[in-house]
Amino acid sequence: MAVVLTYLIAQMVVSGTLITLLFGLDYTLSVIVVGCVMMIYVLFGGMIATTWVQIIKAGLLLCGATVMALIVLSKFGFNPINLFAQAASTGCDPAAPAGSQLFCYGQKVLEPGTKVVTGAWDAVSLGMALMFGTAGLPHILMRFYTVPNAKAARVSVMWATIWIGFFYLITFILGFGAMVLVGQKNILAVGGGGNMAAPMLAQVIAGDVFFGFICAVAFATILAVVAGLTLAGAGALSHDLWVNVVRGGHAPQHEQMVAARVSSIILAICAILLGIVFEGQNVAYMVGLTFSIAASANFPALVMSVFWKRFTTWGAVCSILFGTIATLLLIYCGPTIQIDLLGPKAPPAGSPADVVAAYQAAVAAIKAQWFYFPLKNPCLYTMTGAFLVGIIVSLLAPERSAQEGFAEVERRAVWANRAASPPSKGGTLSPDHLRSGNGPGLEEQSSGPLCFLPL
């Protein structure tokens, strides 16, 4: 739920800003409208509607981003080096006094921005979160149960990795292109913490029609992600909490459906309220925080459950709890909450020296607090700690049933692969042999990916 709620914040913030940009509505009203649309869509469409929207928007998003990247590169001779050089000199006036140019970064334009990271270790921590957190996102894990078998799951992951990697490779072209062709002043003037850079770039390079297309794709993307997150969160609340905890694992089907629908409404209300509270926050580092929670809470338990036979139920529970609580605590104690959200408001450019000095003194006082954590992305510490907690607890409290379950899953995986392979020249693998006790029958094979989490 921590992952779902934090990711919903990012989606609601950018959707509210997008609606405000397109229709001129108030931001709060825009967030409420998007939240209501999301709730109706999930309640009446369910998984099938969500899947079709995700399929269609993925194709449109890849096509639109590729076209934008090609148009941007064409303006710089299809040479990214020329784009970087232009970005380094954008906003710089050689005749201006030192320190007076707000948007002149020079060669620092290629370094990580302070909006997302605070230094080298913070950049490493963010990279770990984005790399390993993807494997721990609930709405991504949920997709493994929509494929017929383990082989299809592996093929699906392979293609998803290829297309996601391709998309990530072209995003830097869009970012630097927006910096040069749109201008940072114009991007910030729209509001939303710079989240509307891509739609504005589309308008500058190809006109209003392409701008409308990119906005429609962006909204479809937001709707698909929000719907997937809501379904994952509603499933956790209704099945894991209500059915298994409150009702002790015994609840009729209609009661489970009612619980799922009520959970969807609760999540929609929470998403609307959080989206309003976090107005103007940059989505980039908010997504990084979400991935930090996923990488710290879910990823260690998943990896150890698949690859370590001595991993126990209590080890998994303690690892997940530590990863979730530690990440949320360090995020709260870090600069994102203490300075950006709860701290003093940064003075605008050109403010008097005494105002700037007062702001810097207030920030220094916050950093001097004993509980202050200097990194914006705590994944480097929390994910490592989650692995250690899971290992220590599993070694201190071993479970024989966990090792037996791990051996059973390994046996099923081996026999499933042999059953799927063509017969060798030395003999055949008959169904009777599969049912003889040396391996599971074909009808007994898991319909999902072959992994084991001892929960």
CA angle, corner 291, sides to 288 and 296, nearest 5?
Answer: 125
Mean pLDDT of 343-359: 77
Q: In this predicted structure, which of 92-101, 314-323, 393-402 has the lowest mean pLDDT?
A: 92-101
For the ranges 47-61, 81-95, 239-253, the maximum mean pLDDT occurs at 47-61
Between 142 and 375, residue with greater pLDDT: 375
**How far is it, in rounded angstroms, from Cα 257 to Cα 264?**
11
- pLDDT bucket at 115, cuts 50 / 70 / 90: low
pLDDT for 432 equals: 44
**How far is it, in rounded angstroms, from Cα 96 to Cα 150?**
62
Q: How far, rounded to the nearest angstrom, does the alpha carbon of residue 198 sit from its chain's CA centroid?
A: 19
- pLDDT bucket at 11, cuts 50 / 70 / 90: confident
- pLDDT bucket at 95, cuts 50 / 70 / 90: low
Under 8 Å CB-to-CB from 330, ≥6 apart: which residues? 373, 375, 378, 381, 382
The pTM is what?
0.72
Under 8 Å CB-to-CB from 128, ≥6 apart: which residues? 295, 379, 380, 383
- pLDDT bucket at 107, cuts 50 / 70 / 90: low
Between 7 and 414, residue with greater pLDDT: 7
Under 8 Å CB-to-CB from 255, ≥6 apart: which residues? 247
Burial class (CB in 10 A: 0-12, 13-18, 19+), 390: buried
Q: In this predicted structure, which of 104-118, 365-379, 410-424 has the lowest mean pLDDT?
A: 410-424
Mean pLDDT of 438-442: 40
For the ranges 110-114, 325-329, 352-356, the maximum mean pLDDT occurs at 325-329
User: Hey, what amino acid is at 403?
Assistant: Q
pLDDT for 326 equals: 93
Whole-number average pLDDT of the chain: 79
Burial class (CB in 10 A: 0-12, 13-18, 19+), 426: exposed
pLDDT for 151 equals: 80
Q: Are 7 and 287 in contact (CB under 8 A)?
A: yes
**How far is it, in rounded angstroms, from Cα 349 to Cα 402?**
60
pLDDT for 360 equals: 83
Q: Is residue 140 scored above 90 in pLDDT?
A: no
pLDDT for 448 equals: 39
Mean pLDDT of 172-194: 80
- pLDDT bucket at 427, cuts 50 / 70 / 90: very low
pLDDT for 67 equals: 93
Mean pLDDT of 161-169: 87
DSSP H helices in 298-442: 299-307, 313-333, 335, 353-367, 379-396, 400-420, 431-433
Give the residue among 121, 140, 167, 448 at the shortest CA–CA distance from 295.
140
Between 209 and 239, residue with greater pLDDT: 209
Q: For the chain, which residues make up each domain, given as ranges?
A: 2-280
Mean pLDDT of 184-199: 75
- pLDDT bucket at 94, cuts 50 / 70 / 90: low
Q: Is residue 443 scored above 70 in pLDDT?
A: no
DSSP 198: H
- pLDDT bucket at 349, cuts 50 / 70 / 90: low
Q: Are 181 and 76 in contact (CB under 8 A)?
A: no
Tell me the percentage of the chain whose pLDDT exceeds 90. 13
pLDDT for 388 equals: 95
pLDDT for 413 equals: 63
Q: Are 379 and 122 in contact (CB under 8 A)?
A: no
2-280 maps to CATH 1.20.1730.10: yes
What one-character-per-residue DSSP string does 268-310 give?
HHHHHHHHHHTTT--HHHHHHHHHHHHHHHTHHHHHHHHH-TT
The structure tokens listed for 61 are: 């998003």
Please identify which residue in the block is written with the tokens 């397109």. Answer: 22
DSSP 447: S
CB atoms within 10 A of CB 83: 22
For residue 175, which phi and psi values (nearest 5 degrees)?
A: -65, -50
CB atoms within 10 A of CB 93: 9
